[in-house]
Chain A
Amino acid sequence: MATYKDIHGFKIQNVSSDPPAPFNGQVWYNSTTGNLRAKASVSVQAWSTANAMNTARFYTAGAGTQTSALAFGGRSGPPSPIANAEAYNGTNWTAITSMNTARAYLGGCGDSSTNALAFGGTASYPAIGNTELWNGSNWTEVNNLNTARKRIAVSGAGSNTAALAFGGVPNADAVELWNGSNWTTTTSLIVGRQQAAGSGTSTSALCSGGESPGADVASNELWNGVGWTEVGDLNSAKKGLMGAGSGNTSAIVFGGSPAIADTESWDGTSWTEVGNLNTGRNQMGPAGTATTALAFGGLPGPANGTKTEEWSASPTPAVVTIETS
C-alpha cells in the first residue's frame, strides 16, 4: 500500500499549530491538540439566512437561480391575492412590475429574473388558466392553460419558452406542456395530486409528494419528456413542499405543511435526508438547483412571509479533524 510519503514526497508533519495556508489534501499532526488534521473538500449541505423580501407572501411562485430569482403573486395576508413581484440578485430583493392578474396558488418557472412564466392559480376562489410571460421589463398575457387549475406543481425549462405544468385543483392528474406560445395537454400523472413539488425541465422532471385527494403522499414520479414512471418515494409523505433541480436525476425538496423543515436530496434513485431549513414552513417560493437553491416566503404566517434562505451543497475546502478511533 502506498504511504503518504509515496504519494506526496514527504512525511506527515508533526506541528504545534495548524499551518496557516494548507493546500487541499495536506495532512498534518497537531501535537498541541493531539489531532490528525487535513485540508479537504467538505460538502456542506446547509441552509443559511438571506435578506428578507419587501412584501410578505405565501401560496406564491418562484423562478430563476439563487443569484437571479423572481417571486411573483401569492397572498400577503388574508384574504386577497396579490400581483406584486420582486427580483433577487443574490443579496437583495427589489420590487419590479406587477403581474396583470393578481393570484395565489399559481405555478411559475423561468431560468433567471429576466425570464419567467406565471400560470394558473386563483384570483378569488375559482381556479384560473391565465398565463403571463415576463421578459425582464413587463408581464404580457399569453394563451391560457387548457384546464384552469390552482395549487399546481411546476417544472420549467431553461427559459419561458418550454415548461411543464402538472397536477392541481380541480384536475389533479392533468399535465400540460408549454412551447412558448401554447399549452398542449400531454400524458397524465399516475397519481393525481395537488401542492406537490416540481423540479427539472419540460423534458426531464420530477413530481414529488403532495396531497392525493385527502391524504399526503410520498409518491415520486419521473417525467422523461413523454411519460411518467413511479420511482423512489420521499422519506416522508407531505404536501406544500417545494422543489429545485435541473433535471430528473438531481433535485431537492424542502419544507411542507404545516411547518416541516426537512430537506431531501434526490440522486436519480433515492431520497436522502440532508440539512434542514432553519425555519420550517410550507407554501414558499422556490428557485435554483439541487446544489444552490433559494426558499422564500411561506407559512405559518405572517411572520415567515418575508423570510429567505439559501441552500448550498457545494464542496468547500475546509480544515477537518480526522477521526482515528
Chain B
Amino acid sequence: MAKTKQYCVAENWGKGFIEHSESSRIKFAGYPGNVWQIPAHDKGANLWIHKVLGTVKTLAEAQAIVDAEVTAAQTSWDALSDEEKADSTRPADITLEE
C-alpha cells in the first residue's frame, strides 16, 4: 500500500514557517525534535518542505529522532520527587504512522 504520510526535519523559525493558507490546505503534525509529518504525494506539501529547507526522513529515521526526545523528557520526569510526579504526567511514547 502506498504511504500516505511523509516526514521531514525543519526548524520552526516562527512567523511564516507555516502560513494560514498552508495550514488550511495541508495537514501538518509537529513532533519533538523538529519532526514534521505532512501528506505524501502532495504537491503543496512538497513545496512547503522546499520552502522551509526541510530534510526528508524515512519513518524509521523520524521515529528515532522523536524517541530520543521523548526518552530525555521521560528521564527528566523520572527524576522528580513523588509530590512533583503527582502534579504532572509522565511524557508518553509517540508512535509515528506510516
Mark A residues whose CB is within 8 Å of B.
44-52, 59, 77-79, 91, 105, 122, 124-125, 257-259, 261, 275-276, 278-280, 299-304, 307-308, 310, 312
Contact = CB atoms under 8 A, between A and B. Distances in A.
B31 to A, nearest CB: 8
Given A45-B24, A46-B24, A280-B29, 6 more contacts: A44-B21, A48-B18, A49-B14, A50-B15, A275-B24, A300-B91
Contact of B30 (A79, A258, A278): A278
A279 B23 CA distance: 11
Contacts of A51: 14-15
Contacts of A46: 20-21, 23-24
A312 B23 CA distance: 11
16 contacts: A44-B20, A44-B24, A47-B23, A48-B15, A48-B20, A50-B15, A59-B88, A105-B87, A124-B83, A258-B91, A276-B29, A278-B29, A300-B92, A302-B76, A304-B30, A307-B30
B27 interface: yes
Contacts of A257: 89
B3 to A, nearest CB: 20
Contacts of B12: 49, 52, 307
B89 A49 contact: no
Given A45-B24, A46-B23, A79-B80, A125 B33 contact: no
Interface of B is mostly: loop
Contacts of A78: 76-77, 79-80, 84, 88
A259 B42 CA distance: 25
B20 A122 contact: no
- The listed residue with most B CB atoms (<10 A of its CB), out of A91, A300, A312, is A300
A172 B68 CA distance: 37
Contact of A300 (B24, B73, B79, B87): B73
Contacts of B91: 258, 299-301
- The listed residue with most B CB atoms (<10 A of its CB), out of A59, A257, A279, A312, is A279
Contacts of B73: 300-302
A59 B21 CA distance: 30
Contacts of A275: 23-24
Nearest to B14: A51
B87 A122 contact: yes
Given A302-B73, A303-B69, A279 B14 contact: no
A252 B85 CA distance: 30
Contacts of A105: 87
Contacts of B45: none
A275 to B, nearest CB: 6
A258 B32 CA distance: 13
Contact of A308 (B14, B19, B34): B14
Ranked nearest first, the 5 interchain pairs of A and B with the lowest CB-CB distance are: A279-B30, A51-B14, A46-B23, A46-B24, A49-B17
A22 B63 CA distance: 46
B20 A312 contact: yes
Contacts of B31: 279
Nearest to A169: B87
Nearest to B82: A125
Contacts of A50: 14-15
A122 B86 CA distance: 13
Contact of B87 (A125, A299, A301, A303): A125
Nearest to A58: B88
A46 B20 CA distance: 5
Contacts of A47: 18, 20, 23
A122 B92 CA distance: 24
Interface in B1-30: 12, 14-24, 27-30
A87 to B, nearest CB: 16
B14 A77 contact: no
Contact of A278 (B23, B89, B92): B23
B92 to A, nearest CB: 5
